[in-house]
Structure 1
Amino acid sequence: MHTVILACLAAVAVAAPQQYHNYDGPDYRHIAILRDEREDRGDGNFRYEFETEHGIHVNAVGTPGSKGQSNIQGFYRFPVAGSRAEVTYVADELGYRPQSPLIPTPHPLPAHAQEQIRVAEEQRRQGITWD
């Protein structure tokens, strides 16, 4: 009986969380901002850049857009799995367009599907239609 109780206590101890992250409690540690630069010219042109001690780095440059929007080009970097991830982006009248090897891309179409698309486009150019 004592062995069963000890085994249960050991199982509870092993299953208990090893670290508790309470971001509102006494274990909370502020992350130092190493650099924080901001510039707003008041005419729609702006730029900002900041970097933290944990390796987060953000940079953006904005200009007025042709349709009243802000056009922004920039990047953000952050640590992930022992390396550094980076996303570059453009945001303008065409929307937000990020680029990064982290962003999943669809598998390439197989050769027969590409050929079917090519044939369909050629038939469309020739005026062939279907109901």
Structure 2
Amino acid sequence: MKLVVLACLAAVAVAAPQLQDNQPVVAILRDDRQDNGDGTFNYAFEADNGIAVEASGSPGSQGQSNIQGVYRFPLDDGTIAEVRYVADENGYRPESPLLPTPHSLPDHALAQIRFAEEQRALGVVFE
């Protein structure tokens, strides 16, 4: 019996979260949550390390949750990154100056697209 108790205590000690020397403890400054029970909700979370999240949601027309929100986190240079987003029946759409944008199409590709549109307008069909 003593061996079982000792084994359980050893298992608890091994499973306990271990803090790294270089990992500071993060304090939670704000944790507000509201669920209205009808599919609408709001939450806001903020930690002392600069991470913050806010979102609000409502039921969507196709059974999904429609959510609008923002999340922020500190960058290595000390500035704060911010991403605003909408998630609904049209998918997830983030907005931030940090997100990569596609390169513009070269002129020859734009010319080919215009030519194809002109042919479609004339009724040209390729089989």
After TM superposition, is the score higher than 0.5? yes
Shift of 1:42: 0.4
State the SS of the aligned residue for 1:103: coil
Cα distance in 1 for residues equivalent to 2:20 and 2:105? 53
Cα distance in 1 for residues equivalent to 2:69 and 2:81? 14
% same residue: 61
Q: Is the deviation greater in 29-38 or in 67-76? A: 29-38
Give unmatched runs, 5+ long, in structure 1.
1-22
Give unmatched runs, 5+ long, in structure 2.
1-16
TM-score under structure 2 normalisation?
Answer: 0.79
Structure 1 counterpart of 2:95: 99
TM-score under structure 1 normalisation?
Answer: 0.77
Matches for 1:31-42 after TM superposition, within 5 Å: 31-42=26-37
Candidates 16, 24, 30, aligned match of 2:18: 24
- For this pair of structures, how many residues does the alignment match? 109
Candidates 71, 75, 79, aligned match of 1:80: 75
Shift of 1:125: 1.5
State the SS of the aligned residue for 2:93: strand
Structure 2 counterpart of 1:15: none
Structure 2 residue identity aligned to 1:103: L
Structure 1 residue identity aligned to 2:75: V
Q: CA RMSD in A?
A: 1.5
Cα distance in 2 for residues equivalent to 1:88 and 1:118? 34
Candidates 40, 43, 54, aligned match of 1:59: 54
Cα distance in 2 for residues equivalent to 1:119 and 1:59? 46
Residues 66-94 of structure 1 deviation map (CA, whole Å, 9 limit, x = unaligned) = 01111000010000122111111111111
Shift of 1:26: 5.5
State the SS of the aligned residue for 1:112: helix
Point out 4+ residue stretches in structure 1 off by more than 4 angstroms.
none
Cα distance in 1 for residues equivalent to 2:37 and 2:88? 19
State the SS of the aligned residue for 2:98: coil
